[in-house]
Chains A and B, each alone.
Chain A
Amino acid sequence: DAGITQSPRHKVTETGTPVTLRCHQTENHRYMYWYRQDPGHGLRLIHYSYGVKDTDKGEVSDGYSVSRSKTEDFLLTLESATSSQTSVYFCAIGTGGVFSVQAFFGQGTRLTVV
């Protein structure tokens, strides 16, 4: 299995509190991605990074921020969690370039906002 780890795997938090999810890779891949998965919507891209300190928005970025200070770590922050952000969050890594693919996905973080 690819060296990609998400933490925590499960979290319950209260509305209005900040939450940070971590994605850690040991593959030295340039690209890292955060997705959310909800019933009826499939997987949707939140943010992605194409290098240290280089990030860009995806389809559903409102309410989320990201940071990448090291190649191996990509953090997703919900500044003030809302119930609509209850979801399963997946991190992915990829090599980028012409054949850029989200090659490997983490096991997911199940976040519940109450």
Chain B
Amino acid sequence: AQSVAQPEDQVNVAEGNPLTVKCTYSVSGNPYLFWYVQYPNRGLQFLLKYITGDNLVKGSYGFEAEFNKSQTSFHLKKPSALVSDSALYFCAVRPRAGNTDKLIFGTGTRLQVFP
């Protein structure tokens, strides 16, 4: 079965420190990979995506993600965390096969950045 795993329910980091939110996937082929962020009582906001090419992709608000094909991982990173980065982060994959926009989401990781 196709799935996305986010092994950490919560990540705590001090403001100014680097952060990493982990994601691994089990999807056949070479799926498209995405990160979304969700603030309380809001929908999902797109952060970045990997389609092809350079394994390090840069996105919104200083976030970046590293794609590793052999480990089927797509970890989200930021060199220096801000308190305002505190939110719920979702990794998602979209299989290349098929003709829909179906995204398979992980269960989410809550990022808490402390002052």
Is chain B found bound to chain A in the same assembly?
no
Residues on A lying within 8 angstroms of B by beta carbon are none
Partner-A contacts on B (CB < 8 A): none
